[in-house]
Amino acid sequence: MSSALRFPRGHSFLHIPKTGGTAIEVARAKLRIEVLTSPWTSPWVGAERKRHEPGAAWHLPPDMFAERHRRPRASKPLLCVVRDHAERMHSELAWRCELARRRPQAFPRWTRLPPSVRRCAPPRLSPAAEVLREARAVASARGNRTRLLFAEDPVLHVLPQWWFVWSAAGAVTCQCVVAYEKLQRVAALARPSQNRSRPHRAPSSSTLWGRPFSALLGARLYARDAALHRNATAARGLCYAPR
């Protein structure tokens, strides 16, 4: 293992759902990184959630945040983390399954299934069906982000990662892109995620219910995520600077 890496100074953190963002926000003081739009640091974010406004602010890409809230996400350059797109969806599914176990009243059909099935239930019977449905809802927007501006959190959780790195107009919105795997080498951050469900695997072998994730979610929607993650992983330093 090479020596520990450090986050660059002068950046603000951009949370992309299911890429280890909560761990970074909790360790923000040790990492010396600014975290503005987060329930950990921003009282107005918590107030927004209590009002049941759709889609938490910290789950929005920068251009969508600016359009909805009429102000920029941050005044500093942004740092974000990207992950293998299929592993990210597996993490989302694991989180929802855990939520279903903790809040069974919200998933009545789910809790009637045998325990062995609950652990990896087929589509139409579990939170997994929701993940697929919401990813297809994103795909049906056909790149029109305005249509998803007031989407609920479950939909925002499956937005493509590259939407956070480039605006709809093609401008770079995250200047320092860090591969999820490199978080293990970041000083003061012991674990990449509190919800990491399984070891990293190559995208080509990432499957769900025996079928390639790309077939279920649409290769076109997430293909750019795969290229983004490869470039961030191959970068010699901590940051990959997109163009």
**Residue 195: per-residue pLDDT:** 44
Is 1 domain-assigned? no
Range of the domain at 86: 12-234
Classify burial at 124, counting beta carbons within 10 Å of its beta carbon; exposed 0-12, middle 13-18, buried 19 or more.
exposed
Q: Which candidate, 38, 40, 43, 70, places its Cα nearest to that of 57?
A: 38
Is 209 domain-assigned? yes
Is 41 domain-assigned? yes
Collect the ranges in the chain with pLDDT lower than 70. Answer: 1-4, 37-53, 99-130, 187-219
Is 80 domain-assigned? yes
Is 88 domain-assigned? yes
For residue 179 the two structure tokens come to: 């591969």
Q: Is 171 left (phi over 0), alpha (psi -120 to 50) or beta?
A: beta
The backbone torsions φ and ψ at residue 166, rounded to the nearest 5 degrees and listed phi first, read -130, 140
Count of structural domains within the chain: 1
pLDDT tens digit string along 207-235? 444 444 445 455 577 889 999 999 999 99
pTM for the full predicted model: 0.79
Q: How far is the C-alpha of 163 from the C-alpha of 33, rounded, in Å?
A: 22
**Residue 3: per-residue pLDDT:** 57
Is 2 domain-assigned? no
**Residue 101: per-residue pLDDT:** 66
pLDDT tens digit string along 131-173? 777 787 888 887 899 999 888 888 888 899 999 999 999 999 9
Is 4 domain-assigned? no
Is 243 domain-assigned? no
